């Protein structure tokens, strides 16, 4: 039998026989995981931390974040606490849908104008075929077409309702392509697949009293850093990584496709031919004003979101949120992480706080008991020394060794 045809227990036995040590895993958990992915042999766990005071559109949320990086959760909480003192974030999601592409080879008998007259009927037929999506408020919304040389490019817009919608969109595209393959002048289908081009844009905005970030001088430095991130791609990419720290952590926690969002953000950041910051901070009318716009093609139901117990726990913490609201929360968290990072750069520097939080991970690797690790961490933070060598020296001190 091929590896994928084996049960997860049999796959584990093969690895054990090859001398690979595996962590123990509950049989029921392994069985559930095997239904979610391919060639499953175990699990990789991430801690879930909380943003405790997120105020978005005047509503309070507790937001779960899945990340092994303590500074990401700390930064989100810090940024959101500053936002809360200033009334919270105002956010808006334009959930227009997911783009799909169909590319077909054509010949000299093809007429684009004639094809366009069939689009209303095609949309109607597709929505009848996929009426379950229509019943949930979604469906095929628009078809656009253009010809380049001997290729027909169709851009299709699908509203996925409350789901991420990738699978449903691809099914609709395949259906449309099959309907068109026998149309006069069309020779063959090249492909029919969704595009991760930026769509479903979400904007989060905040206006801060400069006193809440340390005064007008600090606010002006934040604005200057933002301008540098707009003009300089070396700074822009790091600025955007700070935004995505928060965004990806919430996407992971809520079972969403962070890879698709990352890819779309990369395109959005490069809209005018130069890679730029996704966020903007300015000082205007004695306020520090920040905003970020992100493409968030996400969902709150369907697929692995509904199948995973750990993800369902996250939604119980979040409360009842629809996809639009979740996108607005995610963009707000991204803006909070962005503020916390550039505020640190503008004042004390980012490394000291980062290393202080990372010390916990470093101490976890020591060959010591829990009480010794606790004392070592306390000594490291007191001395503000955070290297592995420092940890080992403090461990000897705790043990009374020379």
Active-site residue, from 257, 291, 328, 373: 257
Q: For the chain, what's the residue count?
A: 402
Give the C-alpha separation, 363 to 367, whole Å: 9
Catalytic residue check, 354: yes
Catalytic residue check, 257: yes
Active-site residue, from 168, 324, 354, 373: 354
| C-alpha count within 13 angstroms, C-beta hemisphere, residue 206 | 35
Q: What 3 state SS string does 216-268 have?
A: HHHHHHHHHHHHHHHHCHHHHHHHHHHHHHHHHHHHHHCCCCHHHHHHHHHHH
Return left, alpha or beta for 106; rule: phi > 0 is left, psi -120 to 50 is alpha, else beta.
beta
Phi, psi of 164 (to 5 degrees): -60, -45
The vertex-258 CA angle with 252 and 263, nearest 5°, equals: 165
Q: How far is CA 317 from CA 80, 169, 238, 347, in A?
A: 17, 29, 31, 34
Catalytic residue check, 324: no
Return left, alpha or beta for 279; rule: phi > 0 is left, psi -120 to 50 is alpha, else beta.
beta
Catalytic residue check, 241: yes
Helix axes 350-364, 70-85, angle to 10 degrees: 140
The vertex-146 CA angle with 145 and 148, nearest 5°, equals: 150
Active-site residue, from 69, 159, 248, 291: 69
Name residues whose C-beta falls within 8 Å of residue 157's C-beta, 6 or more positions apart in sequence. Answer: 96, 97, 98, 99, 100, 140, 141, 142, 143
Active-site residue, from 14, 241, 378, 396: 241
Where in the sequence numbering do the catalytic residues fall? 69, 241, 257, 354
């Amino acid at each position: 039998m091929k590896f994928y045809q084996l049960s997860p227990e049999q796959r584990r036995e093969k690895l054990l026989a090859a001398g690979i040590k595996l962590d123990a895993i509950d049989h029921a958990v392994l069985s559930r995981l095997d239904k979610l992915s391919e060639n499953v042999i175990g699990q990789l766990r991430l801690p879930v931390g909380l943003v405790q005071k997120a105020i978005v559109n005047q509503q309070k949320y507790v937001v779960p974040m899945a990340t092994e990086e303590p500074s990401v959760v700390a930064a989100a909480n810090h940024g959101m606490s500053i936002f809360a003192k200033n009334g919270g974030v105002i956010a808006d999601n334009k959930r227009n849908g997911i783009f799909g592409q169909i590319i077909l080879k054509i010949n000299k008998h093809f007429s684009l104008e004639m094809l366009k007259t069939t689009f209303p009927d095609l949309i109607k037929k597709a929505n009848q075929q996929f009426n379950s999506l229509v019943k949930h408020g979604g469906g095929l919304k628009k078809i656009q077409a253009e010809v380049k040389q001997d290729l027909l490019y169709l851009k299709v817009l699908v509203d996925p309702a409350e789901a991420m919608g990738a699978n449903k969109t691809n099914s609709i595209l395949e259906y449309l392509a099959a309907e068109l393959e026998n149309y006069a002048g069309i020779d063959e289908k090249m492909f029919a697949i969704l595009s991760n081009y930026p769509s479903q844009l979400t904007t989060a905005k905040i206006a801060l009293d400069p006193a809440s970030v340390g005064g007008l001088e600090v606010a002006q430095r934040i604005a200057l850093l933002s301008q540098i991130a707009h003009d300089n791609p070396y700074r822009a990419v790091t600025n955007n990584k700070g935004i995505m720290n928060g965004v990806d952590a919430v996407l992971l926690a809520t079972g969403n496709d962070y890879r698709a969002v990352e890819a779309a953000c990369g395109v959005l950041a490069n809209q005018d031919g130069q890679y730029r910051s996704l966020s903007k901070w300015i000082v205007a009318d004695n306020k520090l004003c920040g905003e970020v716009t992100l493409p968030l093609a996400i969902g709150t139901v369907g697929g692995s979101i509904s199948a995973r117990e750990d993800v369902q726990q996250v939604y119980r913490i979040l409360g009842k949120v629809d996809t639009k609201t979740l996108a607005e929360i995610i963009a707000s968290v991204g803006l909070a992480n962005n503020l916390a990072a550039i505020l640190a750069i503008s004042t004390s520097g980012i490394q000291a706080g980062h290393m202080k939080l990372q010390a916990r991970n470093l101490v976890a690797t020591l060959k010591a008991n829990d009480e010794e690790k606790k004392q070592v961490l306390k000594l490291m933070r007191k001395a503000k020394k955070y290297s592995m060598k420092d940890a080992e020296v403090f461990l000897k001190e705790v043990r009374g060794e020379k």
